[in-house]
Chains A and B, each alone.
Chain A
Amino acid sequence: MGVEFVQFSLTPILIGVLAAVACALPGNFLILRRQALIGDAISHVVLPGIVVAFLITGTVAAIPMLLGAGAAALVAVVLIEAIRRLGGIEPGAAMGVVFTALFAGGVLLLEQSDTSGVHLDVEHALMGNLETLIWLRAEGWSSLIDPVALAGLPPELPRMGFVAGSIAVLTWVFWRPLKLSTFDEGFAQAIGLPVSAIGLGLVVTAAVAAVAAFDAVGSIIVIAMFICPPAAARLMTDSLSAQVWWSVFFAILSAIAGYVLAGYGPIWLGFSNSVSAAGMIATISGAILGLACLFGPRRARVGVSAGA
């Protein structure tokens, strides 16, 4: 745990943890609202947004990428609503149509445009580039209090930290409205809560988390973290606040264990290459969900009818 760890592993792990937590927090409410696929949809539709932003600006700088991704996410939300309302189609199907079509469009755009000079490709979109978010300026743990070294941090870290922190604060501030409007929208509205604004705010927050995390870690982690930690957490407890804490714990556990296993697991097994950290983090979160399904104390609850 010396200089090498700080240089090559600390920042990717932290970014992975922050991305996982930023997605898992809104994921709790999305799952309870039967909207879990929104995260999936958003993380797919940001691809064409990013490609278009690159085609317009010619760079892969963060700001145009994030703006493009945000615009694409908005377009997708509007399209999903339009298809649902005008076509009278259930939300899951509308999301499925929109996100596959937009993602496919993004892939086509990417293939047709000249992005050979930059690291913008389908693989990057899926896996992100977690392993490259290293901190070469670091000279050990003491660098954490060294302003010069801190200035050399990968910009994804403070950005992801800001997003994750903001989402945590929003979740805390709007806890009661979120909880009540998720459980009983009619009652929430009857006591004067603006339920449409709350629902929209949740989706926008999820979109911000997805876009920021997509930039740092790719869409595989985003999709997994919106669903796996909250779903596993739901099987551990019958209290919403405990569920949210469990989901944060599972998100952090997945990010750390996934990164370590991806980097060192194959070497421990005698192979010479490491595997994709994003892929391993998502796999670990899936394994946690599997274990929660088998052994979670509240697993019997799902599908049990209340009776009359």
Chain B
Amino acid sequence: MTTFEAILLTIVTASTPLLIAALGELVAERSGVLNLGVEGMMAMGAACSFAAAVTFDSTLLGVAAGMLAGALMAALFALVVLGFAANQVGSGLALTIFGLGLSGLIGAPFVGARRDPVAPVDIPGLSDIPVIGRLFFEQDLFVYASIALTILVAIYLTRTRSGLTLRSIGENHTSANALGMPVWRVRFWAILFGGACAGLAGAYLALVYTRFWSPGMTAGRGWIALALVVFAAWRPGWLLVGAYIFGAATVLQLHAQAAQFGVPSQLLSAVPYLATIIALLLLSLRHGRAIGAPGSLGAPFVPDR
């Protein structure tokens, strides 16, 4: 394996958790709910998946536990913002802080434990193609799943009735309610989906990316996922591109630092974030207006019955 190939492979590994977490948040936001708790749900997903995987020596159970933990956190968020129509920004921030704290507690007994690497799925024949072979056809199952999930979410949002209902509710919940759409129910499931995705992203971090647990290991990836949704203008296709640009920026700045370019490392670490700002600027210049945010995003829904 050449260095070039190795770098490409790490880019895929770095991008996958961002893509999965951002997809979940994208669906929640398209339904009109802004959940700033991605980082917290991701941390819980990482801690619970690692704990379950070590305890039962099963990657599958670990992944299930991670998704369940993320979904439970999301259910708590849903109770607060849907049931009590609480402020979504405040509730989301609280969820992040809560998730980071609780994950530290759950993960504490497992600090220092290690998991074996998850075996990549080798697609015979195709994986022998030089350079792109290993890149495209010898990845772990999560990578394939994240791509499939992107396509499924895109189809769901644009081609299915249920997806159209979800978009309508995010666009204008008052009108949607007047037309008899189940605003709360749709948002509840969208939030739960977002939580499960964040949990899965956390599980990927703990079981594949690092293969150990340490407190705060999500390291702001939940926030990057949130920024990605905006960067992608709430569209799954753009999200895929954005996640890989971000993943690449993260990995390349590490290599750039190692290569001693004579540029301060802090500046290189800032590259992914600068990339977001520039991308947002270019997008809004091209569209000439605030792009694509769902009309009811972040607004509490209180019907007048």
Task: Please indicate whether A and B come from the same complex rather than being unrelated chains.
Answer: no
